Amino acid sequence: MINIYRTHLNFECKNGEFPLGKRTYIMGILNVNPDSFSDGGKYLASEAALARAKQMLYEGADIIDIGGESTRPGYEAVPKEIELERVIPVINRIRQELSSTVMISIDTQKAEVARLAMEAGANIINDIWGLQGDVEMAEVAAKTDAGIIIMHNSDTGEYSDIIDDMKMFFERSLETAEIAGISEARIALDPGIGFGKTFDNNIEVLSRLEELNSFGLPILLGTSRKRFIGEILNCSPEDRLEGTLASNILGIVAGADFLRVHDVKEMRRAANISDEILRR
């Protein structure tokens, strides 16, 4: 079911907003690190990253999500200085050479990286620890007027009921956001497919995704090329397009407003068909 219980009409971010319920928004993934699970190393050079951003915008991306640190299973954290060296030049070049109106999100778990990325021109902070990792992240989001993606994550991967536990996680994050002065209109929730979750956990979350509509907030879904698709189809990350499309279309039906993907053109087209049927 499409989420008809939203608290706000728009998802707001620095220098922009996204009207909710009218269409699905596509967030194109731009990894500028050497070790992401699917496209690591492809866009390390700022010229290649700029060309990729331009291509995704042409294909229909609404947001370019820039990440300088891989967060795949078993990843090794990198110092903030290295992460900044990777992401800031790319944000600067997009702003200078493409458009001042391009919506950019910074995919980071470090508050200082988020702050400097927002100063460079980002609009949204995409935090894999949902304001529960770096204790300064909420303050950075509040002071920079960022939109904030609060993603569910877990160190233990142990759940009594995964959706109930996820809701308690989000409630803690929302309390942190409220204390920091972040408006609910600037918040979207991400169930964190593949983060602190087994294959069965991921499938259950996707099958019960509509239960998260109870928060009245937009949902961002990121299933693109994830491991659970490879386990079902027995294929490599580069061969998981059909699985990504299927899981994301079901996500739209369940209430997702934003989809974070590698394959922008194909997902944009599939979402357009779904929107024409569902969002009337």
Catalytic positions, written as ranges: 226, 260
Query: Phi and psi at residue 13, in whole multiples of 5°?
Result: -150, 175
Tell me if 178 sits within 8 A of 142, measured CB to CB: no
Distance CA 210, CA 227 (A): 22
Angle between helices 46-59 and 264-278 (to 10 degrees): 30
CA neighbor of 11 nearest in space, from 259, 236, 250, 219: 219
Secondary structure class of 217 (helix, strand, coil): coil
Sheet strands (E) in 128-203: 147-151, 187-190
Distance CA 82, CA 253 (A): 39
